[in-house]
Amino acid sequence: MPGHKPIIDNNISQRALSAYLGLAIGDALGATTEFLTPNEIKVQYGVHETISGGGWLHLKPGQVTDDTEMSLALGDALIKSGGVSAKAVAESFSDWMRSKPIDIGNTVRRGIVQFRNTGRPWVDENEYDAGNGACMRSLPIAILYVNGSVDTLIVASRTQAHTTHNNPLSDAGTEAALEMCAAAMKGEDKSRLREIADRLVDNHKVFRFDNRRIENPSGYIVETLQAVFQAIFDNDDFESTLIDVVNRGGDADTTGAIAGMVAGALYGQSGVPKKWLKRLDPFIVNRCKSQTDELLKLAAEQPGAG
Ligand code: MN
Ligand code: MN
Report the alpha-carbon distance of residue 147 to residue 6 in Å, rounded.
12
Q: For residue 121, report the distance from its CA to the centre of ligand 2, in Å.
A: 23
CA distances for 278 relative to 34, 38, 102, 175, 281, angstroms = 22, 26, 22, 31, 8
Q: For residue 65, report the distance from its CA to the centre of ligand 2, in Å.
A: 8
What's the chain's average pLDDT? 96
Q: Give the mean model confidence (pLDDT) for residues 137-150.
A: 97
Q: For residue 149, report the distance from its CA to the centre of ligand 1, in Å.
A: 30
Q: Give the mean model confidence (pLDDT) for residues 191-206.
A: 98
Q: For residue 47, report the distance from its CA to the centre of ligand 1, in Å.
A: 21
Ligand nearest to the CA of 137: 1
Provide the percentage of residues in the chain whose pLDDT is more than 90.
Answer: 94
277: left (phi over 0), alpha (psi -120 to 50) or beta: alpha
Q: Give the mean model confidence (pLDDT) for residues 159-185.
A: 98
Q: For residue 220, report the distance from its CA to the centre of ligand 1, in Å.
A: 14
Q: For residue 8, report the distance from its CA to the centre of ligand 2, in Å.
A: 32
Ligand nearest to the CA of 66: 1
pLDDT score of 304: 60
- pTM of the predicted model, to two decimals? 0.96
pLDDT at 3 over 60: no
Q: For residue 48, report the distance from its CA to the centre of ligand 1, in Å.
A: 17
Q: For residue 125, report the distance from its CA to the centre of ligand 2, in Å.
A: 22
